[in-house]
Amino acid sequence: MADVGEVLMSALSTIRVPKPGDRVHKDECALSFSTPESEGGLYLCMNSFLGFGSQYVDRHHARSGQRAYLHITRIRKAKKEDDSNSGSGHPPKKKPTRLAIGIEGGFDVEQDQYEEDVKVVILPDRQEVTSEDLATMPDVVRERVSLSMAGIMAADSVSHALQVQQWDGEVRQESRHAADLKQLDNGLKIPPSGWRCEVCDLQENLWMNLTDGKVLCGRRYFDGSGGNNHALLHFQETGYPLAVKLGTITPDGADVYSYDEDDMVLDSKLPEHLSHFGIDMMTMEKTERTMTELEIAVNQRVGEWEVIQESGTTLRPLFGPGLTGMKNLGNSCYLNSVMQVLFTIPDFQNKYVSNIDKIINEAPSDPTQDFKTQVAKLGYGLLSGEYSKPTTDSGNENGASEPRGDQLGIAPQMFKALIGRGHPEFSTNRQQDAQEFLLHFINMVERNCRSGPNPSEAFRFLVEERIVCQQSQKAKYTQRVDYIVQLPVPMDQATNTDELQEAERRREEGDTSAPTVRAQIPFTACMAALSEPETLTDFWSSAVQAKTTATKTTRFASFSDYLVIQIKKFTFGLDWVPKKLDVSIDVPDTLDLSALRATGQQPGEELLPEVAPPPLMTPDVEVKAPVLDDSTVSQLCEMGFPLEACRKAVYYTGNTGIDAAMNWIMSHMDDPDFSAPLVLPGCSSGPGTTPTESLSEEHLATIVSMGFSRDQATKALRATSNVLDRAVDWIFSHLDDLESMDVSEGGRSAAESEGGRDPPPGPRVRDGEGKYELFAFISHMGTSTMCGHYVCHIKKDQQWVIFNDQKVCASEKPPKDLGYLYFYRRVAE
């Protein structure tokens, strides 16, 4: 084994000990979904701390020259039967008693235990270095290797840090009202039981206001249960902030809610506040479920098969290519559902999966941070079938095991970390809106496909908006790009109004047996609400030079290959509390939108003149330059448009908002002076751009450190009003312009010296017949987009398949009427 020692000695200089801040990828391959539990285990580079499966470690060695790897393998331990287990083969799980994750009493996230084997391997011959070998080596070798191994194994893996962290939903803050809470001396004494709402006589979900002692019912839940909002209405009328839930008071405390702070809170003076109304905490017993217990019950019900998950039916598990499940990383079902649908679309398959060998060969030294590599890795994982294998329970000590309906699947940890990096929502483990994530991902694809095929073009279409001034009857046409059709839900068009009203009446009368009735909304009513003319009451007409009434009609200027329809189920109640409309919509399997094709300017129709609104007057007598809405200009700049074009858009639309300005930009992108400086009234020349001397040297240095030239950094900062974050976004979305940028000796580019280069061409859209067929839909369960659960149904080979995280099964009754996002593809001619 002397050869091994010599080899290890020669590689010693490349072996590192992890330092704070080093990312240690010891749970997942950077290029595949291989893990230490996979066949062949995981090889961790002892220099870069990147992990590689057995099929990719030789490639990394050849490219990097690194020879020393830590080979980690894990085997799942057999589960021991609990003494109290009634022979089911599974130990009973403890019921959660705390709204928490990863702590005592909370939801358990570490259910599997493993036997782990770790050894050093030297490439290219994969020579193993045993502990006995290491003991015979020189001290300097033994110490360095031992320290590196110990540091790697002690370090938190990147994937572990991104998984569900220890979280306690019961940690509450002291209310700011508790210390000095005003309590009325009204002589009111509350009995220890027998409570009723003082308004509606409800006998459950009762809250006592700690200021005046009023006993009133709580909020109404999304399904009509709960209370009738009388405690909330009382706060809105009086401003008395704190209320305690009756039935939860024990010597240990109670549920206290602050309406002003809109959260469950602590009241350190609760015994004193309760005794004011004759309540002795030491003698009270709990009779109502606490809010925590209610939330735990809701979280447990999320995993049950109900309508959307096709409960009550034995579903047949499916395995194979394109039928791979995805692990839920803690509220990542929104991401799982969206990506399952996207990788059934040929554009995404061809871009990322068909070229995976080329993508991996061209991957940078750290592929975990490369968008194209991680998307390709995810796509191949979903489509290859390599990870679509049934999982089995590890069984008991006797080795018995039982197949389960879910799969090993893939855990999209690196993908989620990369796609959410820097985003205030998608970087967290909170539940998100699937529609917002879809648009976020499309935006990432757009940024990373500036050259070459762009799969997001499959969704891109043009919308034509026709505005007709009702006073002059002259029209204005604008076009904008969109990716999703948002359909409103006209609740007043429900076909079962009588049933809805009867159910509501019974609930108001306190009938607990009243059924939950779902509103039946025709799909044609939703389409009519989208296509009918909208009245604009504050439209500035260039024809009459004044504000007047106009009508706006929206039509399709092009039909994309794939059409996404969002049912706008999520809204706000009168109290501004988010809620979800419980509706059933008869969404069709086929769709013909040909009648909604835009026709453009009609024969004999006059257009509104392109005249700017009057300048905004100042108190001075003379006319000064109008004040532009800086926030609108900034929003447009953040989208990547030139600063001067944004200024002109805001000016020529009279500061009337982002929508009008965006429409102006989309209809003037081909103008030769699109990027030329705006000359305002009262100014002898345009304001130009931010002068170089006013740019922040710190901002310039930051962008230069990212690999761009000083001239390119200057251009980006000028285009974004010297705002660093916007400049970084701008520079990545204008790489083609920057690469061809010809910088003159004076510091400004030749294009700028000539008054601006020709603008880039408009967005590329595909067009064809407006006839579509449904092939997928994503459904949501829960009260709002911030909670609940997503699943998707996809039609594969004329069979509907349900993807519920790791569970992939043949669908028996796809609930097409309860979807949230619907995906259509153009019908082949």
Q: Are residues 130 and 228 in the same domain?
A: no
Where does residue 756 fall: left (phi above 0), alpha (psi -120 to 50 degrees), or beta otherwise? left
Q: What is the pLDDT at residue 770?
A: 94
Q: What is the pLDDT at residue 2?
A: 45
Query: Quick one: angle between helices 643-652 and 630-638, nearest 10?
Result: 130
Instruction: Decide if 252 is inside a domain.
Output: yes
Q: What is the pLDDT at residue 33?
A: 95
Chosen domain end from 621, 653, 668: 668
Q: What is the pLDDT at residue 711?
A: 76
**Cα distance between residue 89 and residue 110, in whole Å:** 19
Chosen domain end from 245, 279, 300: 300
For 637, list phi and psi in degrees, rounded to 5.
-65, -35
Q: What is the pLDDT at residue 237?
A: 93
Q: Which domain holds residue 718?
A: 702-739+762-767
- Tokens for 140, please give them: 């300097």
Q: Are residues 12 and 67 in the same domain?
A: yes
Instruction: Decide if 291 is inside a domain.
Output: yes
Q: What is the band of 586 on the pLDDT scale with cuts at 50, 70, 90?
A: very high
When mean pLDDT is compared across 26-35, 61-70, 97-106, 453-462, the lowest value belongs to 97-106
Q: How far is CA 633 from the centre of its chain?
A: 26
Binding-site residue numbers for Zn(2+) are 197, 200, 217, 230
For 28, list phi and psi in degrees, rounded to 5.
-155, 140
Measure Cα distances from 216 to 192, 197, 313 in Å.
15, 4, 42
When mean pLDDT is compared across 315-329, 729-743, 757-771, the lowest value belongs to 729-743
Q: Are residues 210 and 164 in the same domain?
A: no
Q: Are residues 277 and 224 in the same domain?
A: yes
For 587-609, how does the pLDDT look when each residue is reduced to its tens digit (9 = 90+)? 999 999 999 999 989 899 999 98
User: How many residues does the structure list for the chain?
Assistant: 829
Q: What is the pLDDT at residue 164?
A: 41
Active-site residue flag, 646: no
| Exposed/middle/buried for residue 64 (C-beta within 10 Å: 0-12, 13-18, 19+) | middle
When mean pLDDT is compared across 18-27, 304-313, 532-541, the lowest value belongs to 304-313
**Cα distance between residue 533 and residue 529, in whole Å:** 9
Active-site residue flag, 333: yes
Instruction: Decide if 306 is inside a domain.
Output: no
Q: Are residues 132 and 256 in the same domain?
A: no
Q: Which residues pair with 482 in a beta bridge?
A: 461
Amino acid at 122: I
CB 265 within 8 A of CB 175: yes
78: which DSSP letter?
Answer: P
Q: What is the pLDDT at residue 626?
A: 58
Residue 152 maps to which CATH number? 3.30.40.10
Q: What percent of the chain has pLDDT over 90?
A: 43
Query: For the chain, what is the mean pLDDT?
Result: 79
pLDDT tops 60 at residue 290: no
Q: Are residues 29 and 162 in the same domain?
A: yes
Which position among 333, 469, 526, 809 bears the catalytic label? 333
Q: What is the band of 400 on the pLDDT scale with cuts at 50, 70, 90?
A: very low
Cα angle 144-149-152, degrees, rounded to a multiple of 5: 120
Q: What is the band of 200 on the pLDDT scale with cuts at 50, 70, 90?
A: confident
Q: What is the pLDDT at residue 298?
A: 45
Amino acid at 7: V
Q: Which residues pair with 572 in a beta bridge?
A: 578
Q: Are residues 131 and 224 in the same domain?
A: no
Q: What is the pLDDT at residue 587?
A: 96
Over residues 509-517, the mean pLDDT reads 77
**Cα distance between residue 54 and residue 38, in whole Å:** 9
pLDDT tops 90 at residue 373: yes
Q: What is the pLDDT at residue 405?
A: 56
Q: Are residues 161 and 47 in the same domain?
A: yes
Q: Using DSSP, state whether 315 is helix, strand or coil.
A: coil
CB 500 within 8 A of CB 517: yes
Q: Are residues 23 and 131 in the same domain?
A: yes
pLDDT tops 80 at residue 39: yes
Instruction: Decide if 526 is inside a domain.
Output: no
Sheet-wide strand order for 206-209: 173-174, 263-266, 256-258, 242-245, 206-209, 215-217
Q: Using DSSP, state whether 331 is helix, strand or coil.
A: coil
For 153-177, how does the pLDDT look when each residue is reduced to its tens digit (9 = 90+)? 988 776 655 554 434 444 678 999 9
Where does residue 291 fall: left (phi above 0), alpha (psi -120 to 50 degrees), or beta otherwise? alpha
Nearby residues of 474 by Cβ (< 8 Å), 6 or more positions away: 468, 541, 543, 605, 606, 607, 608, 609
pLDDT tops 60 at residue 505: yes
Q: What is the band of 612 on the pLDDT scale with cuts at 50, 70, 90?
A: low
Q: Using DSSP, state whether 656 is helix, strand or coil.
A: coil
Bigger pLDDT: 643 vs 277:
277
For 521-537, how does the pLDDT look when each residue is reduced to its tens digit (9 = 90+)? 999 999 998 889 989 88
Q: What is the pLDDT at residue 567?
A: 94
pLDDT tops 70 at residue 690: no
For 344-363, how does the pLDDT look when each residue is reduced to its tens digit (9 = 90+)? 999 999 999 999 999 999 99
Helix (H) or strand (E) holding 580, with range, is: strand 578-580
Q: Are residues 129 and 50 in the same domain?
A: yes
Instruction: Decide if 799 is inside a domain.
Output: no
Which position among 789, 792, 793, 809 bears the catalytic label? 789
**Cα distance between residue 394 and residue 78, in whole Å:** 5
- Tokens for 751, please give them: 């294009």
| Exposed/middle/buried for residue 334 (C-beta within 10 Å: 0-12, 13-18, 19+) | buried
Over residues 14-41, the mean pLDDT reads 91
Q: What is the pLDDT at residue 54?
A: 94
Cis before 124? omega within 30: yes
Total Cβ atoms within 10 A of residue 651: 22
Sheet-wide strand order for 51-53: 51-53, 42-45, 68-76, 114-122, 127-129
When mean pLDDT is compared across 91-105, 239-253, 493-507, the lowest value belongs to 91-105
- Domains in the chain, number: 4
Binding-site residue numbers for substrate are 207, 219-222, 257, 259, 262
Instruction: Decide if 163 is inside a domain.
Output: yes
For 210-232, how does the pLDDT look when each residue is reduced to its tens digit (9 = 90+)? 999 999 998 875 445 567 889 99
Q: What is the pLDDT at residue 311?
A: 60
- Tokens for 625, please give them: 């330059």
For 266-289, how does the pLDDT look when each residue is reduced to its tens digit (9 = 90+)? 999 999 999 999 888 776 655 555
pLDDT tops 60 at residue 394: no
Q: Are residues 134 and 217 in the same domain?
A: no
Instruction: Decide if 784 is inside a domain.
Output: no
Label residues 718-743 b or e (16+ Cβ within 10 Å = b). bbbbbbbebbbbbbbbbeebbeebeb
Q: What is the pLDDT at residue 285?
A: 59
Q: Are residues 664 and 715 in the same domain?
A: no
Over residues 51-65, the mean pLDDT reads 94
Q: What is the band of 91 on the pLDDT scale with cuts at 50, 70, 90?
A: very low
Instruction: Decide if 387 is inside a domain.
Output: no
Residue 732 maps to which CATH number? 1.10.8.10
**Cα distance between residue 251 and residue 243, in whole Å:** 17
CB 245 within 8 A of CB 254: yes
Binding-site residue numbers are 197, 200, 207, 217, 219-222, 230, 257, 259, 262
Q: What is the pLDDT at residue 166?
A: 38
- Tokens for 774, please give them: 């449904």
CB 640 within 8 A of CB 652: no
